[in-house]
């Protein structure tokens, strides 16, 4: 799914949103010095780094199945316990963490229910389990623009608003309640990022990262050019710097006990 990428490629594409989202997400989840936290699907470590700043790196663990991302996260957050693992098979004992968090990952899991059950297992009784995902249908302008332009030329383009689950507060709450978590609450989180110019927006899609990058890589040069033109038009033909907003939805709950 395009996550065997370098940190640089990921950051130009999505990581530029992840740093700010991590701060906003953790202000929703809570987390205090002295607590132990796990970041599931850490990628190159945006959320892991913010956790380490608040809790100390030795109190922070992270997991991701991508070898390149595990290497990038280990380098970015020295002292954190970063391991190569999938959400459904976390290599930590029961009740290890006060806080188990996952940013922009749930909709990539082959078995989300199994992933959440594992997140619950490694949280201590009373501990917090929380996740956030993009609102692909409406609030994530960078991806919405790309997929709207893609569907203009290919109605069957794999628009993430259609292919992804868990993109609304209701869906997230249902998943959390189904996992037996208590005190379930949800929130919408808004972030934004600045692009230096249109190329700063477009070129990251050509690096093969994520579903958007994988789709761009599947196109012939003519279709890719038409897609680029469509994105340019839909963004209003920007000549210089511009800012795009992005909305995520977040859920938090507690392990009973
Ligand atoms: C959009 S990235 C988010 C990365 C990071 N959390 C962030 O906020 O920038 C999705 C991440 O999910 C990871 N992922 C994919 N399948 C996974 C699985 N089965 N278990 C855990 N993580 C997975 C990918 O390797 C990738 O790092």
Q: Does residue 245 lie in a domain region?
A: yes
CA distances from 11 to 35, 69, 164, 183, 231 (A): 28, 11, 21, 34, 20
Distance 240 CA to ligand 1 centre (A): 32
Q: What is the pLDDT of residues 153-184, one digit of tens each?
A: 999 999 999 999 999 999 999 999 999 999 99
CA distances from 16 to 3, 23, 146, 205, 231 (A): 15, 13, 17, 13, 19
Q: Does residue 1 lie in a domain region?
A: no
Percent of the chain whose predicted confidence (pLDDT) is above 90: 95
CA-closest residue to ligand 1 atom 23: 41
Would the CB of 42 count as within 6 Å of ligand 1? yes
CA distances from 232 to 104, 142, 167, 200 (A): 26, 11, 26, 12
CATH code at 224?
3.40.50.150
CA-closest residue to ligand 1 atom 4: 43
Distance 119 CA to ligand 1 centre (A): 14
Q: Within 13 Å, how many C-alpha atoms sit on residue 206's CB side?
A: 12
Cα–Cα dist 216/227, whole Å? 9
Would the CB of 70 count as within 6 Å of ligand 1? no
At 4, the pLDDT band (50, 70, 90 cuts) reads confident
Q: Please, are residues 217 and 208 in contact by the beta-carbon 8 Å criterion?
A: yes
Tell if the pTM clears 0.75, that is, is over it.
yes
Cα–Cα dist 47/175, whole Å? 22
CA-closest residue to ligand 1 atom 1: 104
Would the CB of 65 count as within 6 Å of ligand 1? yes
Cα–Cα dist 169/131, whole Å? 11
Q: Does residue 2 lie in a domain region?
A: no
Q: Does residue 60 lie in a domain region?
A: yes
Q: Does residue 208 lie in a domain region?
A: yes
Number of domains in the chain: 1
Beta bridge partners of 193: 244
Give the 3-state secondary structure percentages of the chain, helix then strand then coil, rounded to 5: 45, 25, 30
CA distances from 257 to 123, 127, 181, 182, 184 (A): 11, 9, 10, 10, 15
Q: What is the pLDDT of residues 31-83, one digit of tens each?
A: 999 999 999 999 999 999 999 999 999 999 999 999 999 999 999 999 999 99
Q: Can you tell me which atom of ligand 1 is nearest the CA of 1?
A: 15
Per the prediction, the chain carries an average pLDDT of 96
Cα–Cα dist 233/226, whole Å? 11
- Domain, as residue range, for 65: 7-254
Q: Would you state the pLDDT for residue 141?
A: 97
Q: Does residue 56 lie in a domain region?
A: yes
Q: What is the pLDDT of residues 7-22, one digit of tens each?
A: 889 999 999 999 999 9
Cα–Cα dist 95/32, whole Å? 17
């Amino acid at each position: 799914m395009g996550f065997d990428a370098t940190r640089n490629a990921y950051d130009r594409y999505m990581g530029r949103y992840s740093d700010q989202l991590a701060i906003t997400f953790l202000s929703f989840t809570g987390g205090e010095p002295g607590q132990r936290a796990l970041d599931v699907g850490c990628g190159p470590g945006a959320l892991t780094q913010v956790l380490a700043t608040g809790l100390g790196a030795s109190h922070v663990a992270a997991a991701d199945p991508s070898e390149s991302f595990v290497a990038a996260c280990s380098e970015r957050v020295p002292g954190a316990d970063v391991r190569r693992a999938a959400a459904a098979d976390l290599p930590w004992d029961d009740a290890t963490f006060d806080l188990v968090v996952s940013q922009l990952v749930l909709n990539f899991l082959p078995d989300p229910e199994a992933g959440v059950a594992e997140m619950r297992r490694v949280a201590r009784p009373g501990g917090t389990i929380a996740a956030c995902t993009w609102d692909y249908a409406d609030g994530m302008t960078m991806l919405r623009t790309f997929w709207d332009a893609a569907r203009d030329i290919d109605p069957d383009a794999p628009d993430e608003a259609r292919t992804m689950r868990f993109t609304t507060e209701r869906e997230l709450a249902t998943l959390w309640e189904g996992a037996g978590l208590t005190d379930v609450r949800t929130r919408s989180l808004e972030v934004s990022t600045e692009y230096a110019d249109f190329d700063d927006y477009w070129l990251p899609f050509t690096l093969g990262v994520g579903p958007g990058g994988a789709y761009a890589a599947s196109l012939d040069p003519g279709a890719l050019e038409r897609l680029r033109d469509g994105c340019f038009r839909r963004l209003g033909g920007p000549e210089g710097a511009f800012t795009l907003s992005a909305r995520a939805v977040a859920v938090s709950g507690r392990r009973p006990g």
